[in-house]
Amino acid sequence: MANVDFSVRDSFGTKAGVIAAAAGSAIGLGNIWRFPYVAGQNGGGAFLLIYLGFILVIGFPVMLAELSIGRRAQRNALGSFKKLAPGKPWYLVGLMGVVAAFMILAFYNTIAGWTLEYLAQAVGNGFNGKSSDELKNSFEAFQSGTFRPVFWQLIFILLTGYIVFLGVKKGIEKYTKILMPLLVVLVVIIAIKSLTLPGAREGLVFLFKPDFSKISWTVILDALGQATFSLSIGMGTLITYGSYIQKNNNLANTVLKVTAADTAIAVLAGIMIFPAVFAFNIDPAEGFGLVFIVLPGIFEQMAGGYFFGILFFILLAIAALTSTVSIFEVIVAYFSEELNMTRHRATIIGSVALAFVGVFATLSFGPLSGALIFDKTIFEWFEYLSVNIMLPLGAIFLVLFVGWYLGRKNVEDELTSGGSLKVKLLGLFMIVVKFIAPIAITLVFIYGLGLIGKKDKKKSEPVADEQAFANNTFLPGRTIELFT
């Protein structure tokens, strides 16, 4: 192992900083973008009810388990397993998390860059007077281009790298404490505006009134998948962030606040989206195109739409940025501690590597769209291997490690900070991480592989509304599973 002085390791300075950073990791494009359209595809209220149940039963304990690994070891994702299980192959779980983080950022920065393009268009009033077909054609032209998509991708990498470059306390904690409150304010403002639209009541009824006839195994598994990965589980971010949390912090209370914030933002996003969708007679199951095609058209039709369009795309960019920062920290922490690099050098090398590899993912929608490997583009391979395979496998082994290897005694010692804090329902927590969570995440894993449930198999087919989107070159349906 590299000769690193862990006694001078950076850490979060305040409890508010811990919550802001962890919430920033969990709250991403999936809350603002994916949750509303997946809820729309799965019947609204019934999906929401099942999702909330899974967040409480599965999401909360698994997030707590991952944070506890990082804080107990005070190491990066790979180093944590090496320290807690010396000489054992458990370190491969951490290595898989680091590799998954790199692959995720290789294509996540592509989508994050799109938010900056659309923010620029919103500021320049670029949606003015465009029909839905023109908005669709405009998005496809941008997506399949060369310079602009790559330019915005690189800008996003620079923004992410700048924050991580500054360190845990002066970079990640400082900026997430600014960005997360701003994100909440923006969601609330746009949600209030959406509630004033004519026909908003129908959107609220759709979101909050369960229609139990809509429930199927597909709906249940979609809700389970959203809950399982909504909290950034399995990619090493929570282990890494957990390692920066001081021992006097009550992890259970922190996770409770983070899961509450993550869920609240997802529900607020639904309140923000569905009243507007119903007010303008849009199908709530519009899917991927909802953000980049449908919503710009809605903003054009509503009073003050120019202003709210700008706010919305600022909101999307912030949600993406807090997630990219947390994922990139996994890579930088690994480089720093396992390869004995300074943080600055690790950040620069990581940024350059991501920029180089990520360009190929971005160009997969344009010049490299025909460069297929076993019928998948480069972008799709990054997405498929990380989201469908590495993340669920990492989450499965993570809970098995906590439940079966660390065991109750070590877990209790960590969660109670050596007996100085009280932790309720520890027995139930251990049952979940030993038995319930591994089974649940395994179901999500085989569902994502298309082995159970009703999933589209064709490469370019979106998840739903095939008639409207079958001819578009949108992301594969499972891609948005990541945006958490």
Residue 483 confidence (pLDDT): 41
pLDDT of residue 10: 83
Query: How far apart (Å, rounded) are the C-alpha atoms in residues 177 and 325?
Result: 13
Q: Does the residue 1 lie in any domain?
A: no
Beta carbons within 10 angstroms of residue 126's beta carbon: 16
The answer to whether residue 138 sits within a structural domain is yes
Q: Is residue 157 part of a domain?
A: yes
pLDDT at res. 282: 78
What's the farthest any 2 CA atoms get from each other in the chain?
Answer: 64
Distance (Å, rounded) from C-alpha 475 to C-alpha 187?
Answer: 25
Does residue 44 contact residue 36 with C-beta atoms inside 8 Å?
A: no
Q: Tell the residue number behind the tokens 């500054």, with chain if given.
A: 166
Q: Give the whole-angstrom CA distance, residue 81 versus residue 435.
A: 21
Q: How far is Cα 47 from Cα 401, in angstroms, rounded to an integer?
A: 31
The residue segments making up the domain with residue 409 are: 6-481
- Measured distance CA(187)–CA(265) in Å, rounded: 8
Say if 137 falls within a structural domain. Answer: yes
- Checking 263-269 for CB contacts under 8 A at 24+ apart, the result is 263/52, 263/55, 265/27, 265/31, 265/32, 265/183, 265/184, 265/187, 266/30, 266/31, 266/35, 266/51, 266/230, 267/48, 267/207, 268/187, 268/188, 268/191, 269/31, 269/32, 269/33, 269/35, 269/36, 269/187
CA dist., res. 111 & res. 317, Å (int): 10
Cα–Cα distance between 457 and 463 in angstroms, integer? Answer: 9
How many domains in the chain?
Answer: 1
**In 3D, which of 285, 239, 212 has the Cα closest to residue 397?**
239
In this prediction, the residues of the chain whose per-residue pLDDT falls under 50 are 1-2, 455-484
pLDDT of residue 278: 85
Over the stretch 124-161, which tens digit does the pLDDT of each residue have?
A: 999 888 887 888 889 999 999 999 999 999 999 999 99
Please measure the distance between the N-terminal and C-terminal CA atoms of the chain and give it in whole angstroms.
33
Q: Which whole-number Å values give the CA distances from 295 to 145, 289, 466, in the listed order?
A: 22, 9, 19
Cβ atoms within 10 Å, residue 195: 16
Q: What is the pLDDT of residue 40?
A: 85
Q: Is residue 363 part of a domain?
A: yes
Q: Cα dihedral angle (413, 415, 417, 418), rounded to 10 degrees?
A: -20
Say which residues have a Cβ less than 8 Å from residue 74's Cβ, sequence separation at least 6.
Answer: 6, 9, 83, 243
Closest CA to 245 of 7, 6, 405, 14: 14
222 domain residue, yes or no? yes
DSSP labels, 270-287: HHHHHHHHHHTT--TT-T
Output the CA–CA distances (angstroms, integers) from residue 234 to 164, 166, 195, 332, in the order listed.
Answer: 20, 25, 36, 17
Closest CA to 114 of 306, 316, 339: 316
DSSP line for 10-74: ----SHHHHHHHHHHHH-SHIIIIIHHHHHHHTTTHHHHHHHHHHIIIIIHHHHHHHHHHHHHHT
3-state helix, strand, coil in the chain (%, to 5): 75, 0, 25
Rg (CA), the chain: 21
Task: Give the pLDDT confidence score for residue 347 in this predicted structure.
Answer: 97
**pLDDT by residue (tens digit) across 464-482?**
333 332 223 333 333 333 3
CATH number of the domain encompassing residue 78: 1.20.1740.10
Please state, as a whole number, how many other Cβ atoms lie within 10 Å of the Cβ of residue 309: 26
In a domain, 96, yes or no: yes
